[in-house]
Chain A
């Protein structure tokens, strides 16, 4: 746990975590750049992390799109701005809500699971066994997972963009009587640009990298048996969630 209440400990702990993550990142990038990672493991992980997370992504996106319209409803009624609903929902979804919420759900499902898996392997000394067999754990275990998580989040965000807008259009029709055609017009009337979409996509890639990196890092540095795995999972979800919001802030301000 890096995040304690005592400020000096929190500071040193955070610096330690960021430093070790940087080292791990440089190792992963050197393997990925020279294509020294296990393709079969990558495909297996893509199936487990990506394909099997789709139900959660779909449910989350539909519900968040609907929630956004419910939240905007009093404002829309007050201003009589029914034609702008599509624009507002599109802007919020594409830039912030879809990448953020998808990252949080993927961090909960995939990131936590990844830490638990790697942590269990470390605790049961399977990673040491790999080293003995002259198999590089980074290129066999870590790099494929990192690539798989980043790709998963990127693709899931594209799905979430579309589905959240569908949920928003449906809720707008149901609650405010905004016809889907009006919603679509608001979405495409020129107030939204390609920049809004690419900003969300860029965020999703950064979030994916962060989740992949922190979940691998916390999983590999597990100490203290099975309770240690639980602590590491907890630390991963906390670090991923905090990091996602911090990155979001900086990307929002620079773009």
Chain B
């Protein structure tokens, strides 16, 4: 697990010559390819250990608490505000083109289930959970606890990454559903207060079909799987003492957020093209 230093971390000012630029570009591309290969290998090993690894009782539950319950307050605050903002902005804009707002709730709930609950929740978890995982594993790498694990014939992937991976998949799905519920409630309140849309009209599942539900859940599971893998990779490739842990944490947050955004585009486009 050696990703090498990020190539443009401390790039010198004079790297503006054409050759320097091309060299830097190539180095970045090669580092990207290497990271992708390592991520793939880590993912495959984690999957393998998920079925074949040693069962450590309680580990998954501990991390489920760490990832899920500890994020509950954060997720609730953020999704509550998101629900209010979306309904307010959506309603204010729709009023400019269409006179009636009866479909505001139906459209909001469809969007929420298909995308926003999973994606905003996923982005929030990527920052909180990703930073936590990378900081934990990174400081273990720096203090040579990972090497100690290897000496005890315990694969760090089996011992550290697998329980976080399983816990994150379960809790991201659970928190995705919770996010949808919170945003729905605050959205309903906003619609009632600002646009006089009664809660009965707002809470309409008219436009929600199984494709929306399936897309939303698929996103939850994909994010839940991607975040711990990307962050654990950042943590395991920590180098350079306590300062390195900070860099690894940053890399984990950025890369898992990017992973969420890229997966979102892929899954959304696939679902639109496949099911219309």
Contacts and interface: CB of A to CB of B under 8 A. Distances in A.
> For this complex, into which size category does the number of interface residues on chain B fall?
35 or more
A80 to B, nearest CB: 13
Interface secondary structure of B, over-half rule: helix
Contacts, number: 157
B124 interface: yes
A52 B11 contact: yes
A35 B268 CA distance: 49
A209 interface: no
Contacts of A30: none
Q: Which of A3, A108, A123, A230 neighbours the largest number of chain B CB atoms within 10 Å of its CB?
A: A108
B136 to A, nearest CB: 7
B224 interface: no
A249 B69 contact: no
Contact of B269 (A105, A113, A175, A233): A175
B254 A109 contact: yes
A116 B276 contact: no
Interface in A60-75: 60, 63-64, 66-67, 70-71, 73-75
Interface stretch (B44-52, B150-158, B197-205, B259-267): B259-267
Contact of A248 (B81, B123, B253, B261): B81
Interface of B: 8-11, 13, 69-70, 72-74, 77-78, 81-82, 84-85, 88-89, 93, 96-97, 107, 111, 114-115, 119, 123-124, 127-128, 131-132, 135-136, 138-139, 142, 241-243, 245-247, 249-250, 253-254, 257-258, 261-262, 264-265, 268-269, 272-273, 276
Given A104-B257, A109-B253, A230-B249, 11 more contacts: A4-B73, A63-B262, A96-B89, A108-B250, A108-B254, A113-B246, A175-B272, A234-B128, A245-B82, A248-B85, A249-B81
